[in-house]
Amino acid sequence: MNSYKRLRPGLPLLLCGFAFCLGGQAFADAPPLAASAPATALTRADVAAQRAALERQFALDQAECAQRFAVSACMEALRERRQAAFKPLVAREHELAAQERQARAAAQVQRVHEREATAATEEAQRRERLVAAPPPAPPASAVPHAVHARTPEQAERQRVHAEQRAAVVAQQRQAQRAEREQRQELRQRQHEQRQQQKAKPAAAPLPLPGASAASK
C-alpha cells in the first residue's frame, strides 16, 4: 500500500508523457495534403481548381483524423498543413487581382488616347475642308447699286403711290381731329346745362287741399 502511494504522485506525469507521445505520433502521421504546382504560374482558373482540390482533400483528411486516437493533435497538424498549402494560392490571387487592376487602368488610358487621337484627326480634317472650300458669295447688299436702279416709270408710280398714301393719312387725321372737336363741344354743352340747373331757383311747394278749404 505504501509503495502504491509512493508511485501514485508520478502517475499523472506518466499519463501526460504517454499522451504527448501519441500526439507527436499523430502529428507526424497526419495525412499530407495534395501537392500543387508552382503558384506563380497559375491563372485564376488554376487557382480556383487547386483551391477546390485542396478543400476536397482536407475534408477527406479530416475524416481520417477522426478515426485516430489523438484527434485534436491530428486536426491541428492538418490545419497547419492546410494553411501552408493555401498560402501560395492566396498570394497568387492577390497578384492576379493587382494585374487585373493594372490591365483595366491601361485599357482606360488607351481608350482616352484613342478618343483624343480621333478628335484631333476630325479637327484636322475639318480645317482642311475649310481651307479647300471656295470663298462664300458676296451678300446681296454688296451688289452694285446700278443693278437696282429704277426706271422713270417706276419712280413715277412710286411717287404717285406715296402721294396717295399721304392724302389718305391726312384725311384720317382730319377726321380724327373733327371727332375730337365734336366730343369736346358735347362735353362743353353738358357742362353748361349742369351749371344752369344748379343756378335755377327751386319751385314753391304746392298748398295742401285741406288748408285751401279752411281759408274759404
Summarised one tens digit per residue, pLDDT across range 134-193 is 666 666 555 444 445 678 888 888 888 888 888 888 889 888 988 889 888 888 888 888
Q: What pLDDT, on a 0 to 100 scale, did the predictor assign at position 18?
A: 35
Rounded Cα–Cα distance for residues 216 and 214 (Å): 5
Which residue, chain included where needed, has cell 472650300? Answer: 133
pLDDT at 101 over 70: yes
Q: Over range 187-213, report the average pLDDT.
A: 71
CB atoms within 10 A of CB 161: 10
pLDDT at res. 7: 37
Residues 6+ apart with CB under 8 A from 153: none
pLDDT digits (tens, 9 = 90+) for 102-131: 999 999 999 999 999 999 999 888 888 888
Taking 70 as the threshold, does the pLDDT of residue 98 lie above it? yes
Q: Residue 139: what pLDDT? A: 64
**Residue indicated by cell numbers 509503495:** 3
DSSP the chain: -HHHHHHGGGHHHHHHHHHHHHHHHHHHHSPPPPP---GGG--HHHHHHHHHHHHHHHHHHHHHHHTSS-HHHHHHHHHHHHHHHHHHHHHHHHHHHHHHHHHHHHHHHHHHHHHHHHHHHHHHHHHHHHHHSPPPPPPGGGS-GGGGPPPHHHHHHHHHHHHHHHHHHHHHHHHHHHHHHHHHHHHHHHHHHHHHHHHSPPPPPPPPHHHHHHH-
The C-alpha cell 384720317 sits at 172
Q: What is the pLDDT of residue 197?
A: 80
pLDDT value for 37: 52
Instruction: Write out the three cell numbers for 173.
Output: 387725321
pLDDT tens per residue across span 61-89? 999 998 888 889 999 999 999 999 999 99
Q: What is the pLDDT of residue 153?
A: 84
In this predicted structure, what is the pLDDT of residue 137?
67
Q: Report the alpha-carbon distance of residue 156 to residue 205 in Å, rounded.
A: 79
Whether residue 12 contacts residue 45, with contact meaning beta carbons closer than 8 Å, is answered with no
pLDDT at residue 60, rounded to an integer: 92
Q: Which residues of 63-87 are buried (b: 16+ CB within 10 A; e: fewer)?
A: eebeebebeebbbbbbeebbeebbe
Query: Would you say residue 1 has pLDDT above 50?
Result: no
- The whole-chain average pLDDT of the chain stands at 75
Q: How far apart are CA 93 and CA 112, in angstroms?
A: 29
Average pLDDT over residues 5-21: 35
pLDDT level of residue 29 (50, 70, 90 thresholds):
very low
